[in-house]
């Protein structure tokens, strides 16, 4: 894999991009704002160089299925639904719609490219994965700002650290991009504030946009170009065991089959006994031993606490008596079982007189 960087779209050579994955970087604003549209559920985004082109594209859409977006001098174009700020859109506004985005673009120069995607700091990791999946040469085209060159250098730095079967070859321009990025490593927000376009945005009241655009890996969406329309790239998701198990359980439940749970509900640990055993009345030898051990621990603990209290408590003093005799304590005598003394009745033998 060979990586090449163009710092000006006019310098792009058609033969270089013919069989390559081209990453177009326009951090302020297009390549940051358009991924946000797809994050909010947009159906597609059309790059329109002029407002008139955007209006004609909008008129081709069915009612309620299109949106107009764009700005001039950092202000929303009159009559358009959205401006150019990534914070201007929301899921309620763009979900399921085609956004006709008016912005100057070098797409005509990139028409010979094999695969064109939009990249910025907010979707850096997704762009990185897309470049590796393509298994083609990578060409990064900067829109011309210092922030775009810094993004190109960061992406090249990430790609060159990849360990794979295909070696990574850097063109001289890619090495220059890394050199431009390194001084700003960890200081992307400062770079945006110092760039000419960033200063203009701050003066127009869009300082929050710079903070948003400087965040790495904020959006999990990669727009790719297909027939003059940007669509969202379908990224493969790794299969998870739990998802497969849930799917099997759901299908079994729909078919009316019983689901057998093989995973123990509670760990086999004496410190975490299985609840509900007392109610059933079935206790094994282990249960009785654990019960005795717990009772013994409780008694030992109580005894230790009593000894500590006895050591801390002061010795009790006997009350001093001033010559007065101490009355003995009354001892309670148990009451007799019978109120009167009982005497056994003597046995009287009846002798019958004999005549």
Reading the chain (355 residues) residue by residue, the pLDDT tens digits are 999 999 999 999 999 999 999 999 999 999 999 999 999 999 999 989 899 999 999 999 998 899 999 999 999 999 999 999 999 999 999 999 999 999 887 777 888 888 999 999 999 999 999 999 999 999 999 999 999 999 999 999 999 998 777 889 999 999 999 999 999 999 999 999 999 999 999 999 999 999 999 999 999 999 999 988 999 998 776 544 445 545 554 554 444 444 443 433 334 333 334 344 444 444 444 445 555 566 666 666 666 666 666 555 555 444 444 455 555 555 555 555 544 444 445 544 444 544 4
Helix, strand, coil percentages, rounded to 5, for the chain: 40, 15, 45
**C-alpha distances in Å from residue 265, one per residue of 39, 244, 269, 286, 305:** 39, 20, 12, 19, 37
Q: Residue 55: which of 80, 82, 34 has the closest Cα?
A: 80
301, two tokens: 């603990």
Neighbours of 336 (CB within 10 A): 9
HSE-CB for 170 with a 13 A CA cutoff: 18
Residue 148, Cβ density class (10 Å: 0-12 exposed, 13-18 middle, ≥19 buried) = buried
User: Whole-angstrom distance between the N-terminal and C-terminal Cα of the chain?
Assistant: 148
Whole-number Å distance between alpha carbons of 267 and 272 = 7
DSSP state of 122: G
For residue 296, with 0-12 CB atoms within 10 Å meaning exposed, 13-18 middle and 19 or more buried, which class applies? exposed
Domains of the chain plus CATH, in order, are 2-232 (3.90.1560.10)
């Amino acid at each position: 894999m060979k990586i090449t960087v163009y710092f000006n779209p006019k310098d792009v050579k058609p033969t270089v991009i013919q069989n390559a994955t081209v990453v177009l970087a326009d951090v302020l604003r297009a390549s940051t704002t358009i991924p946000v549209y797809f994050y909010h559920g947009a159906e597609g985004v059309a790059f329109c160089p002029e407002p008139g082109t955007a209006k004609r594209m909008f008129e081709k859409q069915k009612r309620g299925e299109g949106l107009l977006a764009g700005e001039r001098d950092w202000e929303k174009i009159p009559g358009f639904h959205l401006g150019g700020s990534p914070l201007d859109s929301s899921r309620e506004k763009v979900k399921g719609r085609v956004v006709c985005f008016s912005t100057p673009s070098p797409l005509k120069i990139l028409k010979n490219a094999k695969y064109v995607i939009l990249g910025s700091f907010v979707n850096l990791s997704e762009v990185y994965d897309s470049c590796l999946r393509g298994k083609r040469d990578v060409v990064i085209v900067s829109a011309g700002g210092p922030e775009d060159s810094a993004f190109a250098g960061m992406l090249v730095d990430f790609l060159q650290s990849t360990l794979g079967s295909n070696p990574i070859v850097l063109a001289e321009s890619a090495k220059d991009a890394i050199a431009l990025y390194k001084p700003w490593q960890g200081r992307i927000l400062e770079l945006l504030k110092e760039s000419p376009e960033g200063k203009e945005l701050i003066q127009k009241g869009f300082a929050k946009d710079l903070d948003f655009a400087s965040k790495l890996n904020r959006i999990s969406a990669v727009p790719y170009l297909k027939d003059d329309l940007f669509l969202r790239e379908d990224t493969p998701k790794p299969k998870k065991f739990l998802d497969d198990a849930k799917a099997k359980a759901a299908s079994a439940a729909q078919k009316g089959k019983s689901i057998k749970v093989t995973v123990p509900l509670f760990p086999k640990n004496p410190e975490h006994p299985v609840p509900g055993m007392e109610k059933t009345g079935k206790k094994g030898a282990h249960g009785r031993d654990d019960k005795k051990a717990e009772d013994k621990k409780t008694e030992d603990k109580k005894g230790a606490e009593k000894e500590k209290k006895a050591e801390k408590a002061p010795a009790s003093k006997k009350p001093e008596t001033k010559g007065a005799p101490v009355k003995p304590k009354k001892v309670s005598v148990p009451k007799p079982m019978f109120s009167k003394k009982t005497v056994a009745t003597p046995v009287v033998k009846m002798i019958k007189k004999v005549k």
